[in-house]
Amino acid sequence: MAASNLTLRLVSAAVAVPPLLALLFLGPAWAWLLFLLVVGALPGALEVFDMACPGDTRAKIVGVALTWTVALALWWWPVEPRLLVTVLLVLPFVSIAFALWRLREISVSALQLAIATFAPVWVGVGVGSVALARVLGGNDGPAYALLCLMIAWLGDTGGYFAGRFLGKHKLFERVSPKKTVEGAIGGLVAVVLGTLAVRATLLPSMPVRDAVVLGVVGALLGTVGDLGESLLKRSVGVKDSGGIVPGHGGMLDRIDAVLLTAPLMLLYLVWIR
């Protein structure tokens, strides 16, 4: 990454992070949900469907609608569990019906069908988990939601610097040529230290063991999420999922790890906390 691009990333983060934290810790839960739907799920879904179905505006609209539906069903899941089950059961039928209705080139129909079923769950559940963590965490909800984001972003930051200065061994060159084993280890260390720092300052009731396990598993999931999005981009021949975030590429490039680390946090809140 060039120095100018790194500077642009830092400036973008400095501008975006303070209002995001203010909304998370001071705003109502519904405002946090609305923010995530508009800023996260909307561009994230658009970018996925733009890569898989270029030029198909209707596919993008349906993709966003399905993604929002999944996210909202997850949001209401603690109140009405049947809603989420119904949405997940009906989603494959809707995706198949839409693919048949919008059938174009047979050669790409399998990819488009798979994306229409997978992307709403991938993006919708990931974004919905960040929103729901704010609620299920009780008084500590904002801290748990913040931890969802920090696990992903610290893994990315730690991985970048460790890979830049220490990286020698490729992690998965066919999918992401720049990622290294050393970068992945650096990201894991950064995530564990960050998780312990959040635990010490904002979540003192969380056992240290839980913080370490969340950090390790979260770092691994974040790496998988990053590689998964890289695989998607490489398969359709694009470098960035979009250009909505200065210095960062598309929104999906920023939240690809969050889409897997946030469900981890939600499972922790449901099953262990």
pLDDT digits (tens, 9 = 90+) for 26-79: 999 999 999 999 999 999 999 998 888 888 888 889 999 999 999 999 999 999
- pLDDT score for 35: 96
- pLDDT score for 4: 55
Cβ-contact 143, 131 below 8 angstroms: no
More confident residue, 175 or 218: 218
What is the rounded radius of gyration, in angstroms, for the C-alpha atoms of the chain?
A: 18
- pLDDT score for 246: 55
Cβ-contact 193, 220 below 8 angstroms: no
Q: Is the per-residue pLDDT at 1 higher than 80?
A: no
Pull the structure tokens for residue 36: 């995530």
From residue 75, alpha-carbon distances to 53, 133, 134, 206, 266 in Å are 28, 10, 10, 24, 11
How would you class 209 by CB atoms within 10 Å of its CB: exposed for 0-12, middle for 13-18, buried for 19 or more?
exposed
Mean pLDDT of the chain, nearest integer: 88
Mean per-residue pLDDT for 102-109?
73
pLDDT-wise least confident of 53-67, 122-136, 202-216, 244-258: 244-258
Q: Is the per-residue pLDDT at 113 higher than 90?
A: no
- pLDDT score for 7: 67
pLDDT band, residue 141 (cuts 50/70/90): very high
Q: Is the per-residue pLDDT at 248 higher than 80?
A: no
- pLDDT score for 84: 92
Q: Is the per-residue pLDDT at 273 higher than 80?
A: no
- From CA 106, how far away is CA 113, in angstroms rounded? 11
From residue 25, alpha-carbon distances to 32, 34, 139, 202 in Å are 9, 15, 10, 11
Q: How confident is the model over 224-247, as pLDDT tens digits? A: 999 988 888 888 777 766 666 655
Q: How confident is the model over 169-181, as pLDDT tens digits? A: 898 888 888 889 9
Q: Is the per-residue pLDDT at 9 higher than 80?
A: no
Pull the structure tokens for residue 130: 């960040």
Q: How confident is the model over 177-193, as pLDDT tens digits? A: 888 999 999 999 999 99
